[in-house]
A and B are shown apart, each in its own frame.
With several copies, the nearest count.
Chain A
Amino acid sequence: MDSMSAAQAREMMIYVADVIVESKELLCEADRNIGDGDHGIGMAAGLERCRDELRAREFTDVYDVFFTSGRTMIRTMGGASGIIFGMLFHAGSRNMPSQSEIGVSEFSCMFEKALTEIQAKGHAEVGDKTVVDALHPMVVSLRHSSESALPFKEALRRAYLAAEEGKEASRHYVAKVGKAKALGERAVGFPDAGAVSLSVIAKAMSDWAEKNL
């Protein structure tokens, strides 16, 4: 199956929310190592609100699913992650013409826009020890999958692997952005908390696709 319907996107995002809520402690732990320890709290609360919004009604527009998710996160979460992870879904779905289903190419495009906007607002490059370390390779992988016309399931599997690899790579970086900035060399060895979240999200999407697409 090479496309994702609005209903499927909604199911997938609800599943992502479930997984993030369960990963709360893991994400806090990651943030505790080199940040202020609250990343899991914000992500879990934000995605719980998302889930409520998504469950509250049916969706016919795929972009509306992602827009609703992203806007809810921006509106309710706060913290760096409220904007960053809100934009992850919001930047590429905002002002898009309604679509009842999208393919890998549109999906890839959405995350590419997210990367652009996150970098525009957050001024982080790969290697600065942020979510960008995982998002950049994920976007490159999605673009490649789209160009190679890979099916959704495979595209999401590769996207996850790329994000996971990027998250692992973030261990080696000295932070240049965010609360770990002051740590200098002491941050080395720990992955960035936002990159861990992105990898969790990408895995949840891939796991969901494995079973449902």
Chain B
Amino acid sequence: MKKLINDPRNVVRQMFKGFVAMHKGRFRLLDEVNVVVKSKLDPGKVGLVIGGGSGHEPLFLEFIGDGFADAVCQGNIFAAPPPDVILAATKAADRGHGVLYVYGNYAGDNLNFDMAAEMAEMDGISTATVRVMDDVASAPPERITDRRGIAGDFYVIKIAGAACDAGLDLDEVRRVTEKAGNNTRTMGVALSPGTIPGIAKPAFELPDDEIEIGMGLHGEPGVRRGPMEPADALVDSLVELIAADLPLKSGDDVCVLVNGFGSTTRMELLICMRRALERLDQLGVKVYDAQAGNYATCQEMAGVSISLLRLDSELRKYYDRPAWSPAFSTRGLFQRGTLVEDSGCRC
């Protein structure tokens, strides 16, 4: 597998360097550790630290910004950052009002963030934690805390960033963010594997005419393998699995994210988006906002996931808060200019 890298051992560091250089002045990179921090932090607010393994870009790195994370820390490819790195991000993000951690629910992340939280506590920084567990495929509802965090991270981070930005205290930020997590679900389907830089073998093998429903963002096996199907049939399955799990009912308001795993073309994402919106409409569900793109990837894996965030009036308020990050920003001109009455909203 050819990759545009220099040395597999420094891919993460060089990526961080490229990121801060490209956004010159906006973010700073800490010495020694793979942590980026906003150059200017609003005082008086709870800090938001997100992170996890590398290799899922733009997640987590590029969800830093106004109304998004204050600091991002990443470990090696597919490996949670060490506690010392998380602690450095925590210290950088703390403005005396504590720090919220938002990350995907994996053994490695849990262990490292928990240890970092203990270390922060010793240094007098309060922390709170929301683990994202949106992946419907990864465990049945009765074992929901066994579920992994995948593309739904985006929604939970967006709401957490808005809650911090709104000036809520740590407990309230946690409560609102947890609510976002409880209302977020994702189902994905993988078509072909990604590869880890420096490792020739892909993470898994998938026959030329087969797909895997529910495969995880690190190639973890999903709920079933089956023959390739038309996009509409696959999208229908994903939407229905989510709808049954939430459960979604007619009249509900949702945001929809059609997420590509890496090498899936925008053409395919938009074809899937088309069907997802059709299917939700058939279910009587109202779509408040929708986006398609690579939000949470697994290197050059091919496939797509669909995430829904079910909104109530409180979540909608935080979802609507203007925000800017390199990976996603609210509607810019459209909110200020010609289409202001339609700002980010499909109601």
Contacts and interface: CB of A to CB of B under 8 A. Distances in A.
Contacts of A183: 220-221
Interface in A16-70: 28, 32, 35-38, 41-42, 45
Interface in A77-111: 77-84
SS class of chain A's interface: helix, strand, loop or mixed? Answer: helix
B112 interface: yes
B84 interface: yes
B79 A42 contact: yes
B65 interface: no
Contacts of A32: 201, 203-204
Contacts of A77: 79, 82
Interface residues of B, number: 38
B64 to A, nearest CB: 19
B53 A79 contact: yes
A121 interface: yes
Interface residues of A, number: 30
A65 to B, nearest CB: 20
A191 to B, nearest CB: 17
A79 B79 contact: yes
B112 A82 contact: yes
Interface stretch (A136-144, A173-181, A197-205): A173-181
A82 B78 CA distance: 13
Contacts of A37: 78, 196, 199, 201, 203, 218-219
A213 interface: no
A175 B102 CA distance: 25
A121 B84 contact: no
Contacts of B80: 78-80, 82
Nearest to A82: B82
A177 B145 CA distance: 11
Contact of B221 (A122, A177, A186): A186
Interface string B81-104: 111110000000000000000000
Contact of B219 (A36, A41, A80, A84): A36
Contacts of B108: 78-83
Contact of A122 (B111, B214, B220): B111
A80 B107 CA distance: 6
Nearest to B219: A36
B79 A82 contact: yes
B220 A36 contact: yes
Contacts of B114: 121
B9 interface: yes
Contacts, number: 109
Given A75-B82, A82-B79, A82-B80, A182 B112 contact: no
A38 B85 contact: no
A5 interface: no
Interface in B129-146: 137-139, 146
B83 A83 contact: yes
Interface string B60-82: 00000000000000011111111
A115 to B, nearest CB: 15
B188 interface: no
A46 to B, nearest CB: 9
Interface in A103-142: 121-122
Given A41-B76, A178-B107, A78 B81 contact: yes
Contact of A38 (B77, B112, B115): B77
A121 B117 CA distance: 13
Contacts of B76: 38, 41-42, 45, 78-79
Nearest to A83: B111
Contacts of A3: none
B82 A78 contact: yes
A8 interface: no
B19 interface: no
Nearest to B83: A74
Given A38-B78, A38-B196, 13 more contacts: A36-B216, A37-B201, A38-B77, A45-B9, A79-B75, A80-B108, A82-B79, A121-B111, A179-B106, A180-B220, A181-B146, A182-B148, A186-B221
12 contacts: A28-B199, A36-B220, A38-B78, A38-B196, A41-B76, A41-B77, A76-B82, A77-B82, A78-B80, A78-B81, A80-B80, A179-B107
Interface of B: 9, 53, 75-85, 106-108, 111-112, 114-115, 137-139, 146, 148, 196, 198-199, 201, 203-204, 214, 216, 218-222
